[in-house]
């Protein structure tokens, strides 16, 4: 059975104090709710250890993710953070290939594959992001774009590695724009992603969690999560508001 997941990507937001307050409030509200999904938060690098400490103190059911990692094990790479470092502070997940990393930092498949392999070799689970830009959808090339992103990276893993992977579909045109893919569009692409995965990993495709990552919010979460192949969300802005994030968590 596939895991249902609500993952909050805080991006470059909050101070350490604000981040601790956010996760503490989230824990308090979750304590009164029966969660039907796994909950993950992905703070900025500077917050990882304090947030890890805050949730460990309460034996929380919240898991910790990093928003990125280096493509190198260690060495003279000033400003980078390695997968081993992330594992050492308690990260269980790492987001890899987010559309903002692809666009602003020119990350391509070869680099993303290196990162995923390092995440897996350090005992963590990659949340691998795929998705098309507006012009790619409007030209009818969106399926080819997403298939290529999957094949150039995930098809280079073995089955043991693939078992750790969570896929997040980001319609790039719906991130931070206020636009949202309809539930029909989301289901169409999630179903397609599962079919592509089945080409290389037929036994794992039905078990792979595929999250929706395009402006998911309380008003559309229930409809999105009701789709057969939408297993949860990679939540951006709404995860910074504890009441909104809780409402999304309760939408399963």
Collapsing DSSP states into helix, strand and coil, what is residue 137?
Answer: helix
* 118 confidence band (pLDDT: 50, 70, 90): very high
Neighbours of 64 (CB within 10 A): 24
Mean pLDDT of 131-147: 94
Cβ contact 23:41 at 8 Å: yes
Neighbours of 116 (CB within 10 A): 29
Domain ranges of the chain: 5-249
Residue 23 has what pLDDT? 96
In this structure, of 30-34, 63-67, 90-94, 194-198, the range with the lowest mean pLDDT score is: 30-34
CATH node for 5-249: 3.20.20.70
Cα 147 to Cα 129: distance, rounded to the nearest angstrom: 12
Residue 128 has pLDDT above 80, yes or no: yes
Cβ contact 110:149 at 8 Å: no
Residue 206 has what pLDDT? 97
pTM value is 0.96
Residue 61 has what pLDDT? 87
* 99 confidence band (pLDDT: 50, 70, 90): very high
* pLDDT per residue as tens digits for the range 160-191: 999 999 999 999 987 766 676 899 999 999 99
For residue 9, what are the β-bridge partners?
42
Q: What percent of the chain has pLDDT over 70?
A: 96
Q: Pick the residue with more confidence: 55 or 98?
A: 98
Collapsing DSSP states into helix, strand and coil, what is residue 20?
Answer: helix
Which of the residues 47, 98, 142, 190 is marked catalytic?
98
Average pLDDT over all residues of the chain: 94
Contacts of 99 (CB under 8 A, 6+ apart): 129, 131, 170, 172, 175
Based on the residue annotation, tell me whether 142 is a catalytic residue of this protein.
no
Residue 214 has what pLDDT? 84
Residue 173 has what pLDDT? 85
* 58 confidence band (pLDDT: 50, 70, 90): low
Whole-Å CA distances, 43 to 17, 22, 149: 12, 10, 25
Based on the residue annotation, tell me whether 170 is a catalytic residue of this protein.
yes
Alpha-carbon dihedral 96, 97, 101, 106, rounded to 10 degrees: 130
Helix axis angle, 142-151 to 183-200, nearest 10°: 40
Cβ contact 170:191 at 8 Å: no
Residue 31 has what pLDDT? 82
DSSP string, 200-252: H-TTTGGG--EEE-SS--HHHHHHHHTSTT--EEEESGGGGSHHHHHHHHTT-
Which of the residues 107, 136, 170, 187 is marked catalytic?
170
The two tokens of residue 216 are 């998911």
Whole-Å CA distances, 25 to 129, 188, 249: 28, 35, 14
Residue 36 has what pLDDT? 86
For residue 211, what are the β-bridge partners?
168
Q: Pick the residue with more confidence: 204 or 173?
A: 204
């Amino acid at each position: 059975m596939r895991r249902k997941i609500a993952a909050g990507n805080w991006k470059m937001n909050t101070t350490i104090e604000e981040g601790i307050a956010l996760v503490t409030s989230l824990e308090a509200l979750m304590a009164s709710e029966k969660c039907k999904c796994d909950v993950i938060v992905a703070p900025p690098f500077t917050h990882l250890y304090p947030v890890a400490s805050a949730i460990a103190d309460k034996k929380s059911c919240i898991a910790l993710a990093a928003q990125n990692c280096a493509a190198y094990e260690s060495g003279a790479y000033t400003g980078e953070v390695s997968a081993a470092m992330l594992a050492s502070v308690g990260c269980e997940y790492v987001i890899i290939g987010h559309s903002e990393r692809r666009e602003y930092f020119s990350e391509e498949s070869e680099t993303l594959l290196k990162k995923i392999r390092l995440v897996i070799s350090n005992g963590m689970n990659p949340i691998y992001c795929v998705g098309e830009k507006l012009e790619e959808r409007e030209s009818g090339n969106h399926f080819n774009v997403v298939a290529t992103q999957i094949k150039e990276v995930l098809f280079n893993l073995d089955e043991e590695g693939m078992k750790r992977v969570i896929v997040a579909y980001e319609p790039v045109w719906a991130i931070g724009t206020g636009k949202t893919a309809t539930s029909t569009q989301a289901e169409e692409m999630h179903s397609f992603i599962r079919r592509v995965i089945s080409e290389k990993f037929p036994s794992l495709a039905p078990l792979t969690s595929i999250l929706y990552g395009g402006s998911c919010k309380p008003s559309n979460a229930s409809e999105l999560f009701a789709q057969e192949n939408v297993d949860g969300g990679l939540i951006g802005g709404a995860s910074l508001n504890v009441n909104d994030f809780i409402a999304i968590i309760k939408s399963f």
